[in-house]
Amino acid sequence: MAAEIEFAAIPIEVTVNGQKHQATVEPRTLLIYFLREHLGLTGTHVGCDTSQCGACTIQLNGRAVKSCTILAVQANRAEITTIEGLARDGALHPVQEGFREKHGLQCGYCTPGMIMTGVSLLEENPNPTEAEIRHALEGNLCRCTGYVNIVESIRWAAEKMGGKNVSR
């Protein structure tokens, strides 16, 4: 027997930055607005409406995804990490440190998305070349930095995290 279709209030359970949340959402609530408005995690940003800019990037079940293109209901039972969840016990993630060391941000608006993409890249590829870093940033737009120092920031983090042979 097929399940009932729900129009107004769907219960979901999502673990965000290690904390379990239970909520009721409209089907049309986008994951990014669930994070920003229901959970008050405003570090993830909206920069466009065509799924291009990547300012909304988070990790969902370990993968970098655009939270503006996912319905909150699709994240039921998922584990999510946002920018607010990266630092542990006050210690910055090396990618966050890298952005500080290498001037990887100016206005800071694209930065959370950039950092999340950088974190995901280094989890999959601890020794990325410059070309691989730039390729990984295809889904993240910046208008302030020209990307030069964003790439340097991620490279710095890769070296700090023990990657060797981080070549140009």
Partner 1 sequence: MFPASFGYVAAHSVEEALQLLTRQGEDAKLLAGGHSLIPAMKLRLASPGTLIDLGTIPGLRGVRIDGDTLAIGALTVHADVAASDLVRQRLPGLAEAASVIGDVQVRNRGTIGGSVAHADPAADFPVILTALNASFVLQSMSGTRTVAADDFFTDFYTTAMTAHEVLTEIRVPLPPAGSGTAYVKLPHPASGYVVVSAGVLVTRRASGSCASARVALGGLGSGPIRAQGTETGLQGKSLTPEVIAAAAAKAAENADPTEDTYASAEYKRHVATVYARRAIEAAVERAVTRNS
Partner 2 sequence: MTTEHTSTGLIGKSIRRVEDPILVVGKGCYVDDIQLPGMLHLVFLRTTYPHAKIVSINTDAAKSMAGVVAVVTGEDVKQLNIPAAPMVAGQKIPPHPVLARGAVHEAGVAVAAVVAQSRAVAQDAANAIEVEYESLPSVTDAEKALEPGAPLAREELDSNICYIATKKGGDVDKAFAQAEHICRMHIASPRQVALAIEPRGIVVNPEPMGQGLVIWLSTQAPHRVRGDLATALGYPEHKIRVIAPDVGGGFGSKGPLYREYVLACHLALKLARPIKWVATRSEDFVTTIQGRDQAMTSELALKKDGTMLGLKVRVVANLGAYLYSSTAGPPQRMMAMAPGSYQIQNCHVEVVAVFTNTTPTGPYRGAGRPESVLNIERLIDKAAKELGLDRLALRRKNFIRTDQFPYRTGVGVEYDSGDYTKSLAEAMRLSDYDQLIRERDAARSRGELVGVGVSTFVEPSGGAGFESATVRIERTGEITVLTGSSSHGQGHETSYAQVIADKMHVSMDHVAIRHGDTMAVQQGVGTFGSRSMVMGGGSMALAADRVIQKARRIAAHLVEAAPEDVVQAEGGFAVAGVPEKKVTWRQIAAAAYGGRVPPGMEPGLQETVFFDPRREAWGFGAHVALVRIDRDTGKPTIETLVLVDDCGVVVNPMIVEGQVHGGVAQGLGEALREQMLFGDDGQALTGTLMNYAVMRAGDMPRLILGETVTPNPFNPLGVKGVGEAGTNGAPPAVANAVMDALAPLGIDHIDMPYTAPKLWAAIQRAEGRATSSS
Q: Which residues of the chain form contacts with partner 1 (CB under 8 A)?
A: 1-7, 10, 26-28, 30, 46, 49-52, 54, 57, 63-66, 68-71, 73-74, 76, 117, 120-121, 136, 138-140
Binding partner 2 by CB under 8 A: which of 149, 155, 156, 166?
149
Q: Name the token pair of 66.
A: 């655009």
Instruction: Find the shortest distance in angstroms from Cβ 79 to partner 1.
Output: 14
Q: Name the token pair of 117.
A: 């993409």
Torsion of CA 128, 152, 65, 87, to 10 degrees: 110
Nearest partner of 79 among 63, 103, 101, judged by Cα? 63
Phi, psi of 155 (to 5 degrees): -65, -45
- Binding stretches for partner 2 (CB under 8 A): 26, 28, 36-37, 40-50, 52-53, 55, 82-84, 86-87, 92, 96, 99-101, 103, 105-112, 115, 131, 133-135, 137-138, 140-151
